[in-house]
A and B are shown apart, each in its own frame.
Chain A
Amino acid sequence: MAIVRVRFDGGNVPVVRGAIPPNADMPISNPTQTGFTTNQGIIVAEDEYCFGLDTSMPYTPLWQTVQAVDGVPAVITFRKKGP
């Protein structure tokens, strides 16, 4: 069991997961709702994940992969895009 902290400066929005897109310009296709929101630590199984956000707000990057390791909290950060 590992902890991942998903940070976003645009507030608390739903976190989604899915397959890794072919490039950085494409969002996750057919994402799955995780039931988590940003800016909170989440408990997940030790594994490799691809997370994105479910929001109409422009943000960057569109997705991020993270390796969740038991006992080692990981942090990924998404940022609002534009003004």
Chain B
Amino acid sequence: MKAVAGLLAALTLLSGCGVKPTDYPLAAGQANAVQAPLDVDPDHPFVVMTFSGGGSRAAALAAAVVRRLNDLHYTAGGESRALSQDIAVVSSVSGGSVYAADLGLNGPAHAASFMQRVQDYDGIGWLTRRFLNPFTWLSLQFESETRIAVLQEMIEDLLQTKATMAALNKPSGQLTLLNATDMVAGQVFTFDRQTLDDVCMDYDRVPVSLGVTASAAFPFAFTPVLLHNDSYLQPACPGQRNPSLPYLATLQSVSGPYANLESYRTARYRQSLRDEVVVEQGSGDKVPPYRNPVYLRLVDGGVADNSGLTALRRALLQTGAPADIGRLAAQSRLRHLVVIAVNARSDPKSDLDNSTQYTTILTQANAISGTLVDSASSYSAAVFQDFIKLLINDRDTLVLQDGQTQANFAVYPISIDFDQLPNATAAERQQQEAVKSIATSWTLKPGDVKLLDAAAGELLWRHPCFRLLVSDIGLQGQAEAPAIPGLRCPVEPPVQIPAKSRRPPA
């Protein structure tokens, strides 16, 4: 702990005089490839995952869950298939983004190797050595770099890659959403093709490590990632941004902010990223962006939402977007929607609970930042739960009222959260406390990954919605915990289709 505190103090003192923004502008005449709609086989589950923040603890827990999916098989089309092959969308934050990047680059089969790497990797030691190195000080002072550049180097060392985003989010492949927070706008900033196109960046040249670093740039310990928004280059973005991005109608119509305030604010943010003028319907008034972010300061994605659920929900909801589940349902491609939300949230015991000691500003800042992160994440989890319920209602309406039987699908929301570990006995409470006490750090203690791995298996197999999935699609695998008697998955199963409704849509 003292080493971490010392490192934080050293980090705070070290900073460059100037700051060099990161910039990968689209060249003249160049355009980003558009992410193609996900091609989902209805005979395979559509698996979407979120990986929360929490340093190496979060990265290891996410990998441990995916490792389980490698070992779970079902039969489709006469062939045995691992559930991990069906991971279609991953949305991640901070420490979770480290593994999300590894998953996107190396595939699910690499999960066990990644876990070993994270167990062995001393990230705090690496950072400390770099910050004690006089060459680092010179680099910070004379090359206009900031502390965040050092974190990016560590991420590259940990992931052992200098790959660019071209290797991630291939136009027709799995969708990986690395999420940061725009420090000024308070919005989720996702390193996907659409958002980087909005800021006129050449997606394929952006290093994966930059997205991971922005996602994990914990405020105060690290300076924000500073991006130049090339939409504001004069006279305009030199490249050709993709024109058909349907966000404007919300801003053009007087009912936009009333139809969906969150969607309106997201659209307004997007307008500011693209530096576009909106022509209002009716009046014809030209409305400029509400702010002009020539530079974007990106900090840890956990500041806006430490669960990754916000970006996932938006990806699944956006009509015409690659992972739009409305489209998948309408096209008969969706039968089993599996949502696995891996949350490495930790709320270890605090000395403050039993102390009257003076509360320093540092202690307050530390506690409040943790509380705010948890609060924002709880909100996004509640919104996501509502989203699932509304989706189920709409499914029932389509199937029962419209006779669209192809839109009948099952949803399996599976949360992986330490609070769901059993804690009835002293031994169980000790086990729960042990995983919850794993610090949010880039260095783990010996045995931490083993603890997280065991917790991942137990949490997955205890979950009633996972159990339902096992039975519904005939998953074969070694159960790591008994089912909880009498517990059922709280999401309504697919509707029973009455004979009279079994007709194609008119």
Could you list which residues of chain A lie within 8 angstroms of chain B, going by C-beta atoms?
A: 1-3, 5, 17-20, 22, 30-37, 39-50, 65, 67-71, 73
Contact = CB atoms under 8 A, between A and B. Distances in A.
Contacts of B116: none
A49 B505 contact: no
B330 A36 contact: yes
B385 interface: no
**Closest 10 interchain pairs by CB?**
A35-B327, A19-B248, A43-B326, A1-B390, A45-B317, A50-B249, A30-B243, A48-B259, A32-B320, A32-B244
A78 to B, nearest CB: 15
Given A35-B37, A41-B404, A47 B250 contact: yes
A25 to B, nearest CB: 15
Interface of A: prevailing SS: strand
Contacts of B260: 45-48
Contacts of B317: 1, 44-45
Given A3-B397, A31-B244, A32-B245, A45 B252 contact: no
Nearest to B34: A32
Contacts of B506: 39
Interface residues of B, number: 43
A18 B247 CA distance: 7
A32 B325 contact: no
Contacts of A18: 244, 246, 248-249
A43 B320 contact: no
B505 A39 contact: yes
B184 to A, nearest CB: 25
A11 B255 CA distance: 30
A31 to B, nearest CB: 7
B324 interface: yes
A34 B164 CA distance: 29
Given A34-B327, A35-B330, A43 B398 contact: yes
Given A3-B398, A39-B505, A49-B249, A17 B243 contact: no
A31 B499 CA distance: 38
Nearest to B391: A1
Given A42-B330, A68-B259, A1 B252 contact: no
A41 B344 CA distance: 38
Contacts of A49: 249, 319
B423 interface: no
Given A41-B398, A73-B397, A67 B259 contact: yes
B134 interface: no
B284 A30 contact: no
Contacts of B253: 20, 48, 65
B256 interface: yes
A48 B329 CA distance: 21
B171 to A, nearest CB: 15
B12 interface: no
B330 A40 contact: yes
A82 to B, nearest CB: 23
Contacts of B255: 48, 67
A43 B284 CA distance: 30
Nearest to A17: B246
B287 to A, nearest CB: 13
A42 B244 contact: no
Given A20-B249, A34-B320, A1 B259 contact: no
Contacts of A32: 244-246, 320
B220 interface: no
Contacts of A30: 243-244
Given A43-B325, A44-B326, A65-B253, A20 B246 contact: no
Interface in B443-501: none
B47 interface: no
Residue of B319, B324, B387, B391 ringed by the most chain A CB atoms within 10 A? B319
Interface in B220-266: 243-246, 248-250, 252-253, 255-256, 259-260, 263
A26 B252 CA distance: 16
A17 B505 contact: no
Interface string B366-399: 0000000000000000000001001101110110
